[in-house]
C-alpha cells in the first residue's frame, strides 16, 4: 500500500467538486468530481498531464451517511488494467465533502491511470469511479530535465569566425523523451547568462542589428513536466566596418622606369587581405597586381613597380591608377581607387660628369670637381652653367648624391675651428646659402672671392682666391642669385669627381 495522507474540505474552492447523491440499494454512493493536482499547487491537472514530482494529489467528493467512510484509490501504470484492489487508502471521514489523498512513490518515466471508491465500516464498497472515461495515460511522471539544446546559425555558422551580418539567425533543438519539450528561453548578452522567464515555443530567433563586438546567446529548454534543462551558449562575433585604406604617396606621380623602381606607400586601418591592381586608363585588364595577405593595421606597406607588366614587358606610356580591394576578417569588402601615375618611359641622356638626365627628371644640380663647374638642369635641359670653387685637398667637397635641405638669406658663417687654427675664419655674411649636406656643406655666394673655376681650389688657405673652400661650393653672385630663385628644398645635388 502506498503512503497517503487524507484531508476533507467542504466545497474545495479551486476544484468546485459536487457531492454524490445517496444510493437506493444502501451501498455508499460512488465518489464524484475526481480531480488531481500537484502536491504543491491547488491548480487542477488535465488528463494526460505530466509532473516533475513523484507524489500526486488526488481529490474527489464523498457523501457520508450515518457511518464513516474510508476513501480508497487504485492507481496503476497506464498499460496495466485495473484490478479492483485499492493501492492507497485514506483515513475514515465522517462528514460529506471533498477528500484529498497524496499518492507517493510514483516512478519517473511512468504514466498512470487511477480510480476512486469509498468503503463503509461494514465493508460495503461503492462502485469505482475512474478519473476519466477516455483510455490512455492520465498522469505522467518526468523528473528528468530536457537535454542541453544544440544550436546552429545560418548567418554565423562558425562561432570562432567574425561576420559582418546585421541580422543574426539562430536555431535550436533539445530532446526530452518523456513529457517532451514545451518551451525554450534565451538570453542575449556580452557573456553567458542563464535565461529566465516563461519561455517561447519557437525553435529559433532572429536577432537584428547588434552592435559590433562579441555577443553570446544562451538557450535552455523546459519540458511539459516543468523541468528546465541545462543551458547552451552560442557566440556571435560581429564586425560591420570595412577597412579604410590610406594612400601615403602623392596623388599623382610622374614616373620614368629608366630612373629605377618606383616605391609607393599606403596603410590599412585593420587586419585585412589587400589586393591592388594597376590599370592603364581605358584598359579593362590590369598590367600588374600586388597582394598583401594579412596586412597589419597601421603598418606602412610599400608597392614597388619597375614599369613592367606581369609578363615582364615594359608597359605602354599613359596614365595609370590602382584599383584596391581589401577584405577584413569579417568579410567586409573595401573598394577604392588610389594614386595616379603618369607613365612615360624615356631613356636617359648623359650630362656633365656622366650624370643621367631624363626628360621628366625634374630639377638637378651637378657639381663637377675636376672642372670646377656647376650645371643646373631642368629635366635634360641645361639652364645654368657656371664656374665655382670647391674645397681644397685638405678640406675637400665630398663626392655623393645629396639634396637641398635648407635655404637661408642672408646667412652668417661662423668658424667651427678655433682661432689660431689654419682653418679659422672670421664671421662672414653671404646673401644666399643652400645647405646640401649635414655638417655645414652649402652652395653659397662668396663676397670675398673674385676668382672661380679651375685652379681656384689649388691652394691650402681657404678664403683666398686660390685657396679653395672649407668644403662648400662658392658660386659667383649672378649665378647664385639665379640658383636661389630656381632651387626649392629637395632639389637633388650630385657632386661628381
Q: Which helix (H) or strand (E) holds 342?
A: strand 333-343
For residues 54-78, give the mean pLDDT. Answer: 95
Report the chain's mean pLDDT, rounded to a whole number.
Answer: 92
CA-to-CA separations, 494 to 11, 216, 370, 389, 414, in angstroms, rounded: 116, 65, 13, 15, 25
The residue whose grid cell reads 587581405 is 273
- CATH-assigned architecture of domain 349-496: Beta Barrel (2.40)
CATH class, domain 6-141, is mainly beta
User: Per residue in 458-486, pLDDT tens?
Assistant: 998 898 999 999 999 999 999 999 999 99
CB atoms within 10 A of CB 447: 11
Domain with CATH 2.60.40.2550 in the chain: 245-343
pLDDT tens figures, 229-275: 999 999 999 999 999 999 999 999 999 999 899 999 999 999 999 99
- CATH 2.60.40.10 in the chain, residues? 6-141, 150-238
pLDDT score, position 11: 30
> Strand, helix or coil at 457?
coil
How big is the chain, counted in residues? 497
CA 284: distance to chain centroid? Answer: 34
Domain 245-343: top CATH class: mainly beta
pLDDT average, residue stretch 340-361: 89
Q: Residues of CATH 2.40.440.10 domain(s) within the chain?
A: 349-496
| pLDDT of residue 134 exceeding 80 | no
Beta bridge partners of 49: 139
Which residue do the cell numbers 672671392 mark? 449
Mean pLDDT of 17-38: 76
**281 compared with 1, residue with greater pLDDT:** 281
Q: How far apart are CA 193 and CA 296, in angstroms?
A: 34
pLDDT at 20 over 90: no
pLDDT digits (tens, 9 = 90+) for 447-463: 999 999 999 999 988 98
- pLDDT over threshold 90, residue 313: yes
- Do 496 and 390 meet the contact criterion of CB atoms below 8 Å apart? no
96 and 8 Cβ atoms separated by less than 8 Å: no
Contact indicator for 309, 315 with CB cutoff of 8 Å: yes
- Judge: domain 150-238, CATH 3.40.50.620: no
Check residue 304 and give its pLDDT: 97
pLDDT per residue as tens digits for the range 321-338: 999 999 999 999 999 999
Amino acid at each position: 500500500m502506498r503512503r497517503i495522507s487524507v484531508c476533507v474540505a467542504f466545497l474545495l474552492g479551486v476544484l468546485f467538486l459536487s457531492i454524490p447523491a445517496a444510493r437506493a440499494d444502501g451501498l455508499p454512493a460512488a465518489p464524484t468530481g475526481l480531480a488531481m493536482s500537484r502536491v504543491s499547487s491547488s491548480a487542477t491537472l488535465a488528463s494526460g498531464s505530466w509532473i516533475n514530482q513523484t507524489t500526486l494529489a488526488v481529490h474527489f467528493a464523498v457523501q457520508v451517511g450515518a457511518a464513516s467512510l474510508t476513501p480508497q484509490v487504485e492507481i496503476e501504470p497506464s498499460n496495466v488494467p485495473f484490478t479492483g484492489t485499492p493501492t492507497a487508502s485514506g483515513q475514515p471521514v465522517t462528514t460529506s465533502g471533498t477528500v484529498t489523498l497524496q499518492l507517493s512513490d510514483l516512478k519517473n518515466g511512468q504514466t498512470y491511470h487511477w480510480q476512486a471508491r469509498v468503503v463503509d465500516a461494514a465493508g460495503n464498497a461503492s462502485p469505482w469511479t475512474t478519473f476519466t472515461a477516455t483510455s490512455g495515460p492520465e498522469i505522467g511522471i518526468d523528473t528528468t530535465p530536457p537535454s542541453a539544446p544544440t544550436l546552429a546559425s545560418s548567418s554565423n555558422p562558425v562561432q570562432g569566425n567574425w561576420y559582418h551580418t546585421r541580422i543574426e539567425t539562430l536555431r535550436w533543438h533539445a530532446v526530452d523523451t518523456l513529457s517532451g519539450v514545451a518551451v525554450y528561453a534565451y538570453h542575449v548578452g556580452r557573456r553567458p547568462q542563464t535565461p529566465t522567464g516563461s519561455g517561447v515555443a519557437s525553435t529559433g530567433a532572429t536577432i537584428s542589428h547588434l552592435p559590433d563586438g562579441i555577443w553570446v546567446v544562451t538557450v535552455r529548454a523546459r519540458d511539459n513536466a516543468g523541468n528546465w534543462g541545462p543551458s547552451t551558449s552560442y557566440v556571435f562575433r560581429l564586425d560591420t566596418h570595412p577597412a579604410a585604406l590610406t594612400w601615403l604617396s602623392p596623388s599623382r606621380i610622374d614616373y620614368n622606369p629608366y630612373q629605377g623602381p618606383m616605391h609607393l606607400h599606403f596603410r590599412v586601418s585593420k587586419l585585412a587581405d589587400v589586393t591592388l591592381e594597376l590599370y592603364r586608363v581605358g584598359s579593362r585588364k590590369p598590367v600588374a597586381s600586388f597582394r598583401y595577405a594579412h596586412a597589419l593595421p597601421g603598418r606602412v606597406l610599400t608597392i614597388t613597380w619597375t614599369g613592367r607588366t606581369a609578363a615582364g614587358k615594359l608597359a605602354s606610356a599613359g596614365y595609370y591608377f590602382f584599383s584596391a580591394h581589401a577584405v577584413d576578417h569579417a568579410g567586409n569588402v573595401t573598394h577604392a581607387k588610389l594614386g595616379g601615375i603618369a607613365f612615360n618611359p624615356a631613356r636617359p641622356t648623359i650630362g656633365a660628369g656622366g650624370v643621367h638626365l631624363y626628360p621628366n627628371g625634374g630639377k638637378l644640380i651637378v657639381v663637377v670637381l675636376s672642372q670646377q663647374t656647376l650645371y643646373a638642369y631642368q629635366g635634360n635641359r641645361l639652364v645654368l652653367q657656371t664656374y665655382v670653387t670647391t674645397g681644397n685637398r685638405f678640406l675637400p667637397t665630398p663626392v655623393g648624391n645629396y639634396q637641398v635641405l635648407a635655404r637661408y638669406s642672408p646667412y652668417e658663417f661662423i668658424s667651427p675651428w678655433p682661432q689660431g687654427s689654419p682653418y679659422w675664419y672670421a664671421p662672414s655674411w653671404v646673401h644666399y646659402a643652400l645647405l646640401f649636406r649635414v655638417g655645414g656643406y652649402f652652395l653659397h655666394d662668396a663676397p670675398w672671392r673674385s676668382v672661380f673655376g679651375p685652379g681656384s681650389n689649388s691652394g691650402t688657405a681657404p678664403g683666398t682666391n686660390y685657396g679653395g673652400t672649407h668644403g662648400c661650393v662658392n658660386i659667383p653672385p649672378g649665378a647664385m642669385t639665379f640658383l636661389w630663385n630656381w632651387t626649392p628644398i629637395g632639389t637633388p645635388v650630385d657632386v661628381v669627381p
